Amino acid sequence: MSDLSGNVAVVTGASGALGGALVRRLLAAGVAVAALDRDRERVLAALGEEGERLSAHGADLADSGAVERAAAQILARHGRVDHVFNVAGAFAAGGPVEAGGLELWRRMMDANLHSTLNVCRALVPVMKGQGGGTIVNIGSRAALGAEAGVAAYSVAKTAVLRLTEALAAEGKRSGVRVNCVLPGTLDTPANRAAMPEADVAGWVDPEALIDVLLFLSGPGARAVHGAALPVFGLG
């Protein structure tokens, strides 16, 4: 982690369990962090007050205009962006594909694909202009194969994987490395509450996933472009 000291990172979904833990790891390693989520006050409640190396920003990540404004604020505060971690996302199950309306599909695409797409569209040109940077997107094990009742989520996360590959192909000659991780179920308080009867022994420790995110952003992964790295734990 010392290799990232002095750099600037953007973390989306910064008020959540994984995003918040990632922000704290980055700050402890000497990285300046722009913490981005839908609600700036929620970021502050999760992480504490802003400081010399921490800024909090609020934007609806599914709204491209709001993301562009947040990106401008981040650049005004920090001057550059070296790393982007697109942690923001959401999961919701549903019935059969033919059941119900399209609201669940829109929600899953907004929360998972469009949030990632808008942040990348706003910040990839910045990285290309400054000579490089890294992006790590959060996919899902569900991107590799759908199960009954989770089609909308699976399709959205599959789109994140394809977006990662396209961005990697477009950015590598400009020094922009783009990869994604495909985690299994994370061991978070929210997931434990949602699945109280589940066997959590095989779930993924968020700190272990953060280790992978930081590796993909560091110089040890300098030859890795467009990877979709499974992080399944023991599940």
* Token pair in block for residue 144: 């590799």
Torsion of CA 32, 18, 25, 79, to 10 degrees: -10
Torsion of CA 96, 98, 99, 104, to 10 degrees: 80
3-state secondary structure 20-35: HHHHHHHHHCCCEEEE
CA angle 166, 87, 4 (to 5 degrees): 85
Annotated catalytic residue, options 111, 153, 156, 204: 153
* Token pair in block for residue 125: 């040109």
Confirm whether 153 is a catalytic residue. Answer: yes
Q: Cα–Cα distance between 183 and 48 in angstroms, integer?
A: 28
Torsion of CA 54, 128, 87, 163, to 10 degrees: 170
The answer to whether residues 227 and 202 touch, using CB atoms and an 8 Å cutoff, is no
Give whole-number Cα distances, 172 to 10, 72, 178, 221, 224, in Å. Answer: 20, 24, 8, 13, 10
Q: Which residues are catalytic, by number?
A: 153
